[in-house]
Structure 1
Amino acid sequence: MKCNILHESPNRLRVHLHCARMSLHEADLLEYYLRSVDGVTEVTVYDRTQDAVVRYTGQRSAVIGALASFSFAKAEAMELVPEHTSRALNREFEDKLAMTVMRRIFSKLFLPAPITTAMALYRSVKYIREGLTALWHGELSVAVLDATAVTVSMVRGDFSTAGSVMFMLRLGEILEEWTHKKSVADLAGAMSLNVDKVWLQRGDTEVLVPIGDVQLGDRMLVRTGSLIPLDGQVVSGEAMVNQASITGESMPVVKRPGSPVYAGTVAEEGQCVVEVQKVQGSGRYDRIVRMIEESEKLKSTTEDKAARLADRLVPYTLGGTVLTYLLTRNVTKMLAVLMVDFSCALKLSMPIAVLSAMRECSSYHISVKGGRFLEAVAQADTVVFDKTGTLTYAVPTVQDVVPFGGHDAQEMLRLAACLEEHYPHSMATAVVEEAKRRGLSHEEYHSQVQYIVAHGISSMVNGEKTLIGSAHFVFEDEGCTIPAGEQERFDALPTQYSHLYLCLAGQLAAVICIHDPLRAEAKDAIRALHDCGIRKVVMMTGDNRRTAACVAEEVGVDEFHAEVLPEDKADFIRRERSAGHTVIMIGDGVNDSPALSEADAGIAISTGAAIAREISDITITSEDLFQLVTLRRISQSLMDRIHRNYRFIVGFNLGLILLGVAGILPPTTSALLHNASTLGISLKSMTDLLPEPEAAATVPERSGE
């Protein structure tokens, strides 16, 4: 598409597209198209002027080339734009704000007094009705104060003050609704599905197909730890399904033949076959929005206390108003008290501060499901890490396959890949990828596989029981043995690797040695967490003690626990919380799910298992552990902001009341200053907590670089 460069500075372009007009959807197409260009870091599209501002770190020629080849049809075909964006929502509330302000200016400048009086009387009906409704239900709420202030002003004939009060209240309502809906939309988008392929049952075989190719009536296989990507009905099997992301239920629900299952839920245990009843775009987003809007997770404890305090202060404000009149017999001084209350600012600025912090987290690729979890992160003194896929990279690699009992290493790897490809775990992925790298095809020649959480996989191959998993699983639980005369080879296995044990008919057939390298930033990230006030960092892993000890020493954790089961992790967190500690758990696998649920704030790495992401309270979509430090600093800054807001609101409004009672400030001025301060502190609460230089400082230089 033809475009002109309007302005250019280092790593920044402002361009104008030559098109008659640009719809909101076309603006989204352009924005997400440019975001997909390598090196582009930020894109802002202005649909009204057909302009776009592009910031980049890569080659200028790549951005220019992308603009030259752009077309709306091409971008539409690339399917880059998510199902829901916030552009239309922002436009709706921008227009509401602009129209409200312009109507106010027009009426003040051009309309005669009789007309503005009539308009004030008409608009007051809403506030008076809400106040009377609250009284009818026995509630002394902010609505009563608003109605009283408007009514008293109009009874005195001060319609200008009444109009000003209602104008400020309307602005506050728009801002509150806008911020809330925007935050809900962002959260719903963060919780949307990210599933590319699905296993389908075709006759006696299983086929992995792109999710876009799934048709109504297809039969989809769901196993332990799998996210259910489409709505359907169970036709065989049985599974415990976690539906928290849809219904808010904390306990998993049993799904048997005939039971409905919903897109976005996760199988915690068991497996089943689901007949697809709705393909993509079946309304999951809207269900998530409703769930979030109804969920108490949006409120932190501090925010909830502020809301309750605001309601408790209303009777005192009314009492102060009456007392002022009784002592002074001065209606003007009485109104000065009535026009100022603490409730509006408390109820508006606190939620905005929390929701704005959640929005800021998303800009750092951190998805937070509720304000209370930010509060928990700010207060945390203990952090528990899983090892595999968390302190180590989520992409371990197979270093060696050591055969036993005369088996062929290639054949054993082929068999292991055939079993492991069904399960979402980094170790399983490593085995599958190594088989692929060696060109080993692994057709389905086993019977139904069974996944035992935190242990391994059991199946039947050519009539023989086949197991793959941990040493505890195959040797202790299943009683497998090492072939005669090969104990020495077994004892000589390299200790620097993690091991997967493959057994056939009760005997060890192969050991797959997996290199699970530590994240480059792990040591420095843990040191930074200590610097942020974390008292104790703990590593818990199901790996053997020797490997765990080496990792613990290298990364600098305060203590470690090896060869633990999922329930051991959860028990440890439960004990820490009982001792009065606030605990964060960071994990990525199916076996981390109980611990993630038990912690004050469960944090999942996005590259991990679906069930970990769904159960967690916070998801880190970046693979850099320093995002934990950023999250901690945002959380601490949020708590500081909330406390500053509280002190300012109480101090400033108390000062206005005292000045009004003293006769220094008239009611109109008190109302103006009160509402202006409420709006000002709310707008301030919408700003970022971490300035760019400070945000950059959250990622210190890596040691040894």
Structure 2
Amino acid sequence: MHAYQHGGVPEQKTPIWSAVRLNRAVLILTVVGIVTHFALIPVSISVPVFGHAAMDWPLFAVIALGGGVLIFEIVQKALARDFGADFLAVIAFVTGVVLGEYLAAALIILMLSGGQVLEAFAMRKASSALNALADRMPRVAHRKDGENITDISLDDIVVGDLIAIFPHDTAPVDGVVVDGHGAMDESYLTGEPFVVAKAPGASVLSGAINGDAVLVIRAERLSSESRYAQIMQVMQEAEQKRPKIRRIGDQIGAWFAPFALLVAFIAWYLSGDSVRFLAVLVVATPCPLLIAIPITIMSAISMAARRGIVISDPTVLERLPTCKTAIFDKTGTLTYGRPELVEVLPASGHGANEVLRLAASLERYSKHPLATAVLAAAETRKLALGDVARVSEKPGQGLVGVVDGQEIAVTHRKKLIASDPAMAEILPPDASGLECVIMIDGAYGATLRFRDSPRADGRNFVGHLGPVHNFNKVMLLSGDRASEVSHLSKLLGIDESLASQSPEQKVEIVRRETALAPTLFMGDGINDAPALAVATVGIAFGKHSSVTAEAAGAVIPESSLQAVDELFHISMTMRRILLQSVIGGMVLSIFAMGFAAFGYISPVAGAVLQEGIDVIAIVNALRLALAGNIRADLVGDEKQIS
């Protein structure tokens, strides 16, 4: 199976004549046929062709070819017991053909094919983020065999291959550095605006952009299994998910279709005129359901993307306004996730600056949040970093490497005490806040303590959730110590907080709360994926892993509470505009059905009138896509969409 083609796009085996292309061809044929029909009107009376007016033959071609394609698609849905909004249009089309109202039948085809092409266009526009990701990937990889370097397809990479990554190139596969020292930009995954240093032993993620030095990595995964491929797959699957809002549209169409048929039959029965039956069905064709809903959804996704919000599951746009309980992880969501080093407690025989220099030298090659704090402290103290070799950072095992000939390990208190209970007597007393332990050549070297500051807008954000967005409960869950969590809760005005919670415990708590009321869970993506998945709506800060992107319904790479508030308002505005378009369009259709039932609207006039109703619904649906601003309660100078 090919992982990528044409710059990284996951391969999709699409028939030459796909449904989208067929509908586009039908639309073009229909437009040409209708235009030709009107062009032939002057000569139709004097020049009959095979017993029919010349102007009717273009319509026959439209009905035979275009109508056949659309009927086939909708019959397939009917066989699957999917009687959606477009089923009524097919009944109107068949009735028009039987009654000889060929222009009305052709206009129905125009409505159906136009709506489907427009929906496909909207979906393709929503794929722009996926296309942008695809463009990042290289077309070939540089395999190193001795002194020779050969360009190969990404599909030809096997585990164990040595791959050279040239300056400013993109890593084609996940791997480990075996030769070279440099730095790589992994911000698309981590959401952090800094690069990560690389040395032999350091891991490399596919999609990361290399700096100025050549790096040679050993492939650890196939390209189809790499981190980047997983992210691409998650985004593809998210685009293919059918939003619940669209299912609501189908439900509305399911009751509206029988209602329209009933009105049409009554009009036919009371008047004895079968044309009225057709006229009612033509104006009743619920195109606002067929067109306005996908446009509104895609417009909301586009608006969110412009605000730096990635919607991986469109159903969050419907569900978010219904949430009543907000549950937050602590680090990286309500705090900045950028801890600062506040204290160095060296062991006897070690100086604070020397231990910090050794730790910072090694932390250059780590993506752990505390690494940035250690490096910033070393830079502030103007410490010269040492040479590093044999770097290793396995999940849960800490960071290990050799710095200036000394074996340095950056680990944590629980792991040390679990492996050697005697360490409990050596380590300094436990305290609130974050910490890590430095081991030098297997012996205790120092304890580093950190503090993570709450977000400046955190209290305002938490405080406005109830009054503005109708949340009844706000909770804080964290794996950190009780003193740290309790302190943050008081600062932000959160009444209920739970500390020292494992990922499994978080899942149980979120599941329990979701059973009571719809929940919103926000996490920074580290160990939060299970809780994100079980909540009604999951919002992840940053892009720490493909698992997080799959579990969360929305991802905010810039980790901004203002962006979360903007997402609230986008979803609320989308819901309002959607209901305006659908209900407003159907109310207009019902009025038109009344006029058609009494004989004041012909089938052709009804088709034109329905097109006018469609335009109104579409224009209203596009308001969200065309709007430049969205109101955020945390920033008062932006305009609200009206």
Give aligned pairs, total: 552
> Cα distance 1:469–1:304, how it changes in 2: closer, same or farther (>3 A)?
farther
1:329 maps to 2:329: no
1:56-85 C-alpha deviation (Å, 9 max, x unpaired): xxxxxxxxxxxxxxxxxxxxxxxxxx999x
> 5+ residue gaps in structure 1?
1-81, 85-91, 204-210, 222-227, 237-260, 266-271
1:150 to partner: Cα distance:
3.5
1:117 to partner: Cα distance:
2.0
Answer whether contact 1:603 1:618 (CA < 8 A) is retained: yes
1:146-205 C-alpha deviation (Å, 9 max, x unpaired): 44434443454444433433333343233222112111333554798799xx9x9999xx
Aligned to 2:395: 451
> Cα distance 1:288–1:469, how it changes in 2: closer, same or farther (>3 A)?
closer
> Cα distance 1:472–1:600, how it changes in 2: closer, same or farther (>3 A)?
farther
What is the alpha-carbon distance in structure 2 between the residues aligned to residue 693 and residue 135 of structure 1?
A: 43
What is the alpha-carbon distance in structure 2 between the residues aligned to residue 131 and residue 102 of structure 1?
A: 18
Aligned to 2:421: 479
1:583 to partner: Cα distance:
1.9
Larger deviation: 339-348 or 355-364?
339-348
> Cα distance 1:106–1:320, how it changes in 2: closer, same or farther (>3 A)?
closer
Aligned to 1:661: 597
What is the alpha-carbon distance in structure 1 between the residues aligned to residue 304 and residue 489 of structure 2?
A: 29
> Cα distance 1:380–1:469, how it changes in 2: closer, same or farther (>3 A)?
farther
Aligned to 2:350: 407
Of 130, 137, 150, the residue aligned with 2:70 is: 130
Letter in 1 for 2:446: A
Aligned to 1:377: 320
1:217 maps to 2:161: yes
Answer whether contact 1:131 1:143 (CA < 8 A) is retained: no
> Cα distance 1:326–1:264, how it changes in 2: closer, same or farther (>3 A)?
farther
Of 613, 622, 626, the residue aligned with 1:686 is: 622
1:564 maps to 2:501: yes
Correspondences of 1:611-630 after superposition (within 5 Å): 612-613=548-549, 615-630=551-566
Aligned to 1:274: 219
1:174 maps to 2:117: yes
Letter in 2 for 1:559: E
Of 635, 648, 668, the residue aligned with 2:584 is: 648
What is the alpha-carbon distance in structure 2 between the residues aligned to residue 700 and residue 479 of structure 1?
A: 55
> Cα distance 1:421–1:380, how it changes in 2: closer, same or farther (>3 A)?
farther
Aligned to 1:361: 304
> Cα distance 1:475–1:564, how it changes in 2: closer, same or farther (>3 A)?
farther
1:595 maps to 2:538: no
Q: Tell me the SS of whatever aligns to 1:500.
A: strand
1:630 to partner: Cα distance:
0.9
Compute the TM-score of the two structures, normalised by the length of structure 1: 0.66
What is the alpha-carbon distance in structure 2 between the residues aligned to residue 469 and residue 288 of structure 1?
A: 30
Q: Tell me the SS of whatever aligns to 2:490.
A: helix
Q: Tell me the SS of whatever aligns to 1:591.
A: coil
What is the alpha-carbon distance in structure 1 between the residues aligned to residue 164 and residue 547 of structure 2?
A: 18
Structure having greater relative contact order (Cα 8 Å, sep ≥ 6): 2
> Cα distance 1:480–1:586, how it changes in 2: closer, same or farther (>3 A)?
farther
Compute the TM-score of the two structures, normalised by the length of structure 2: 0.72
1:503 to partner: Cα distance:
4.3
> Cα distance 1:303–1:527, how it changes in 2: closer, same or farther (>3 A)?
same
Aligned to 1:425: 368
Correspondences of 1:511-660 after superposition (within 5 Å): 511-530=447-466, 531-578=468-515, 580-606=516-542, 612-613=548-549, 615-660=551-596
Answer whether contact 2:457 2:634 (CA < 8 A) is retained: no
Answer whether contact 2:30 2:62 (CA < 8 A) is retained: no
What is the alpha-carbon distance in structure 2 between the residues aligned to residue 130 and residue 102 of structure 1?
A: 15
Q: Tell me the SS of whatever aligns to 1:542.
A: coil
1:447 to partner: Cα distance:
7.0
Letter in 2 for 1:395: R
Correspondences of 1:186-335 after superposition (within 5 Å): 186-187=129-130, 189=132, 217-218=161-162, 230-231=172-173, 274=219, 295=238, 298-311=241-254, 313-314=256-257, 317-318=260-261, 320-335=263-278
1:117 maps to 2:56: yes
Letter in 2 for 1:341: A
Correspondences of 1:33-112 after superposition (within 5 Å): 107=36, 110-112=39-41
Letter in 2 for 1:577: T
> Cα distance 1:274–1:386, how it changes in 2: closer, same or farther (>3 A)?
same
What is the alpha-carbon distance in structure 2 between the residues aligned to residue 477 and residue 551 of structure 1?
A: 32
Name the Cα RMSD after superposition. 4.8
What is the alpha-carbon distance in structure 1 between the residues aligned to residue 246 and residue 548 of structure 2?
A: 27
Answer whether contact 2:115 2:290 (CA < 8 A) is retained: no
Larger deviation: 300-309 or 442-451?
442-451
What is the alpha-carbon distance in structure 1 between the residues aligned to residue 129 and residue 312 of structure 2?
A: 10
What is the alpha-carbon distance in structure 2 between the residues aligned to residue 117 and residue 668 of structure 1?
A: 14
Answer whether contact 1:418 1:442 (CA < 8 A) is retained: yes
> 5+ residue gaps in structure 2?
1-6, 10-20, 45-52, 147-153, 179-203, 209-216, 638-642
Answer whether contact 1:234 1:275 (CA < 8 A) is retained: yes
Letter in 1 for 2:480: D
Answer whether contact 1:345 1:678 (CA < 8 A) is retained: yes
Of 333, 337, 341, the residue aligned with 1:398 is: 341
Answer whether contact 1:190 1:367 (CA < 8 A) is retained: no
